[in-house]
């Protein structure tokens, strides 16, 4: 028996999938890289409202304080005394960034001041407190 080879005729067209696969992989890499830069505190808080609230552009560290006094950094609860070491490590990755503290409106001022003190002791001077834009 002889082996027959199929020779494509002019009517049959071959579709090269390589360029499409290249584009899909490039898009996948793009989405992976862009989503890794989004940082969150890890818990939802009810921020107080302020008429003078403005957007913070270069924040890279988010700290949340819940109504019950828990402190969250990078989606995990932390002890308030360990905030200094965590912020120092995160600030070393991006020295130009700042810290945003998302304190719940029912949280204590004592906890907010303690967290702010730990952030300043870590060497970060750019600290902002998150607030929702109040209605006029």
CB atoms within 10 A of CB 115: 25
Provide the pLDDT for residue 30.
Answer: 87
Provide the pLDDT for residue 4.
Answer: 67
pLDDT tens digits, one per residue of 17-66: 888 899 999 999 988 877 655 566 667 676 776 766 677 666 678 899 99
In angstroms, rounded to a whole number, what is the distance separating the alpha carbons of residues 39 and 85?
18
Greater pLDDT, 131 or 10: 131
Confidence of residue 136 (pLDDT cuts 50, 70, 90): very low
pTM (predicted TM-score): 0.64
Greater pLDDT, 63 or 15: 63
Domain 49-133 is of which CATH architecture?
Answer: 2-Layer Sandwich (3.30)
Q: Give the chain's length.
A: 136
Q: Where are the alpha helices (DSSP H) in 61-129?
A: 83-93, 109-121
CA angle 26, 36, 114 (to 5 degrees): 170
pLDDT higher than 60, residue 1:
no
In angstroms, rounded to a whole number, what is the distance separating the alpha carbons of residues 110 and 103?
11
In angstroms, rounded to a whole number, what is the distance separating the alpha carbons of residues 68 and 119?
20
Greater pLDDT, 78 or 7: 78
pLDDT tens digits, one per residue of 73-123: 988 899 999 999 999 998 888 788 788 888 888 889 899 999 999 999 998
In angstroms, rounded to a whole number, what is the distance separating the alpha carbons of residues 32 and 126?
28
């Amino acid at each position: 028996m002889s082996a027959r080879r199929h020779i494509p005729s002019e009517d049959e067209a071959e579709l090269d999938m390589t360029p499409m696969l290249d584009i899909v992989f490039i898009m996948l890499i793009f989405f992976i890289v862009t989503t890794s830069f989004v940082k969150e505190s890890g818990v939802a808080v009810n921020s107080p409202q302020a008429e003078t609230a403005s957007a913070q552009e270069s924040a890279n560290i988010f700290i949340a304080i819940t109504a019950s006094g828990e402190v969250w950094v990078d989606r995990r609860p932390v002890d308030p005394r360990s905030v200094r070491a965590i912020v120092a490590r995160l600030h070393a990755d991006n020295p130009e960034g700042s810290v945003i503290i998302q304190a719940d409106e029912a949280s204590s001022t004592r906890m907010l001041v303690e967290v702010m003190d730990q952030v300043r002791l870590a060497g970060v001077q750019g600290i902002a407190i998150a607030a929702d834009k109040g209605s006029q």
